[in-house]
Amino acid sequence: MAKKNTSGSSKRGLWIAVAILLVLILIAVIREKPIVGVILLLVAAAAVTLFVVLKKKRKTPTKLTKTSENPDGEKDFDYMPEYEGQSVLRYQYEHDLFLPPDVDAELLRGNGGKYLELRPEPENEYDEKAVAVYLKDAKIGYIYKGQTQDMIHDWLKRKEPINIYLNKFSVENRKATYKIGFYKLLRQYECKTFPITRITKKASDEWSNSRLEALDQTEIGEVLTLDEEEGGGYSLINESNDEIGSLSKSGAKYIDENKPMKAVGVLAEKDIADEDDDEPDTVSAKVTVYLVK
């Protein structure tokens, strides 16, 4: 037999006893001081009303709304890397992908965000500039005619990097979009080489390696991100997201005076001579700064 819950009855009895006691006190006060008694009665009534309202509010169940991620095919991916080797992202677009009738749209399912491959088809009977799009060695469609198709041919001819991946799609409606990024080689832009300073300064991020350790692990030719420092100047960040030093004042002036769309660094030199196990005797490095316009 289930045990009877008496906690509710006990609480109700307690509240009734308190209410009776309050009423008796109010009657006594009203007899001696009517005005004070009336005020206390109004205050008590307001308190009881507020208590009832709040109690009902607590008992009212909160309507739960089911939260879920966007279903497969409707996610908008942001996977385009900023750099590709010593190239920088210059143009980025999202376009519809043409799916021919003989392509099984089921190939798209579960592949949002997956990188694709571009393969020109100069012998295509419908378009000699046709560019087929492959996913895991399976042809899933074509690039539509127009500016993007022309840019792909130009970039492939110059052997400049292109990144492309599947973005949103609908298997049922046989629709898909792709995101494509076109990269420009840094050597095409104006550049100058400057010293890297404050290499032995502690990194601003306490979880990062020290600047000196990060510089030691950074390869010559590695692309560096320039991050503005408080009070002016630029920190140099390697591909592992660690600070390796600061750009010299002359380098910062070079950027600020030219006002490029983006400034990109490449580690040009480094010298960390260590004759014993203590601090290195010589620390120096240089960065080449490219002005992307």
Could you read off the pLDDT of 152-180 as tens digits, one per residue?
999 999 999 999 999 999 999 999 999 99
Return the number of other C-beta atoms located less than 10 Å from residue 143's C-beta. 26
* pLDDT the model gives residue 62: 40
Return the number of other C-beta atoms located less than 10 Å from residue 166's C-beta. 24
Q: Give SS3 for 32.
A: helix
* pLDDT the model gives residue 53: 52
Structural domains for the chain: 87-186 (3.30.70.2330), 189-292 (3.30.70)
Measured distance CA(133)–CA(143) in Å, rounded: 7
* pLDDT the model gives residue 66: 41
Measured distance CA(257)–CA(153) in Å, rounded: 36
**Burial category of 195 from C-beta neighbours within 10 Å (exposed 0-12, middle 13-18, buried 19 and up):** middle
Nearest-5° angle of CA 112, CA 115, CA 120?
120
Could you read off the pLDDT of 92-121 as tens digits, one per residue?
999 999 999 999 999 999 999 999 999 999
What's the order of all strands across the beta sheet hosting 87-96? 87-96, 175-185, 162-170
* pLDDT the model gives residue 47: 64
260 Cα distance to chain centroid: 24
pTM for this prediction: 0.70
Nearest-5° angle of CA 121, CA 123, CA 128?
70
Mean pLDDT in order along the chain per 10 residues (293 residues):
42 59 64 64 64 48 45 88 96 98 96 97 96 96 98 97 97 96 97 96 69 95 96 95 96 97 97 68 91 95
- What are the tokens at 85? 């080797």
